[in-house]
């Protein structure tokens, strides 16, 4: 399902509301409160309107999310990318990660279903194209793209959830407390790192991590299903 397929024109829309106003208000809720807080009722309260009035403009929450993601995707400029396939795949993957890191609500949405913004599919096209140009068959290129995508979504989801928990905590996190309590007799490696665990575990290493994952995938010649 795409935003274009789901959008319909409806007569008799309330004059004090517009689709642009609805999208702007929804983006504010998503940016400040997260995807879990967005509902038609919450959005109506934000707009000082009745929930039923929103349905003159969007049919349901899924259509609203599609429109929101499509609006975001259309604002993203397409940069000049390296000609070298490996460098191109790394550049697109890092760009995708960093764009989503600033829009974590999109990660929450795409991780929960099959909604997708058609205008964002150029990322997928470039990633698969770079992998094919490197020498992999299309089927394996899809496998490599999906592995990178799952790594990006998983990393961002864990970081976002951890940030929320740390924001509510009044002291060291539960994980840090557990690691700090380990002994060299049972966990010698972790115990040796215990006093630096929070700092090491909190480092932002997405560029190095994605580069390492991509290099391993591009060099891999293991057989995958369908290859």
Q: Which of 8-12, 57-61, 109-113 is the least confident region? A: 8-12
pLDDT given at position 33: 86
pLDDT digit string, tens, across residues 79-95:
999 999 999 999 999 99
pLDDT beyond 60 at 156:
yes
Q: Which two tokens stand for residue 220?
A: 């891999």
What is d(CA 88, CA 214) in angstroms, rounded to the nearest whole number?
Answer: 11
Answer with the residue of higher pLDDT: 87 or 113: 87
Domains of the chain, earliest start first: 16-75 (1.10.10.60), 80-226 (1.10.357.10)
Task: Average the pLDDT over 139-161 and give the result.
Answer: 93
DSSP 43-76: HHHHTTS-HHHHTTT-SSHHHHHHHHHHHHHHHS
First-to-last alpha carbon distance for the chain, in angstroms, is 28
pLDDT digit string, tens, across residues 159-202:
877 766 666 767 888 888 999 999 999 999 999 999 999 899 88
**φ/ψ bin of 58: left (φ > 0), alpha (ψ from -120 to 50), beta (otherwise):** beta
Q: Give the closest residue to 27 by CA, choosing from 76, 67, 59, 74.
A: 67
List of residues 6+ apart from 190 with CB closer than 8 A? 179, 182, 197
Residues 157 and 163: beta-carbon distance below 8 Å: no
pLDDT given at position 17: 84
pTM above 0.85, yes or no: no
Q: Which of 10-24, 50-64, 139-153, 196-210 is the least confident region? A: 10-24
What is d(CA 141, CA 151) in angstroms, rounded to the nearest whole number?
Answer: 15
pLDDT digit string, tens, across residues 19-43:
999 999 999 998 888 888 899 999 9
Percent of the chain past pLDDT 70, that is, above it, reads 87
């Amino acid at each position: 399902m795409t935003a274009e397929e789901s959008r319909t024109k409806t007569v008799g829309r309330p004059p004090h509301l517009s689709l642009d106003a609805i999208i702007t208000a929804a983006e504010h809720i998503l940016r400040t409160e997260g995807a879990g807080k967005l509902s038609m009722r919450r959005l109506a309260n934000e707009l000082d309107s009745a929930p039923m009035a929103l349905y003159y403009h969007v049919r349901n929450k899924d259509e609203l999310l599609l429109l929101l993601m499509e609006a975001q995707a259309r604002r993203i400029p397409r940069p000049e990318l390296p000609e070298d396939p490996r460098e191109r795949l790394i550049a697109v993957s890092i760009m995708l990660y960093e764009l989503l890191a600033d829009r974590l609500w999109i990660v929450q949405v795409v991780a929960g279903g099959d909604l997708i913004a058609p205008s964002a599919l150029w990322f997928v096209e470039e990633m698969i194209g770079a992998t094919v140009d490197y020498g992999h068959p299309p089927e394996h290129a899809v496998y490599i793209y999906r592995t990178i995508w799952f790594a990006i979504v998983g990393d961002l989801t864990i970081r976002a959830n951890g940030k929320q928990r740390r924001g509510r905590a009044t002291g060291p996190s539960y994980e840090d407390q557990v690691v700090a309590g380990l002994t060299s007799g049972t966990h010698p490696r972790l115990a040796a790192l215990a006093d630096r665990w929070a700092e090491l575990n909190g480092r932002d290493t997405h560029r190095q991590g994605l580069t390492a994952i991509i290099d391993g995938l591009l060099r891999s010649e293991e057989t995958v299903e369908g290859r």
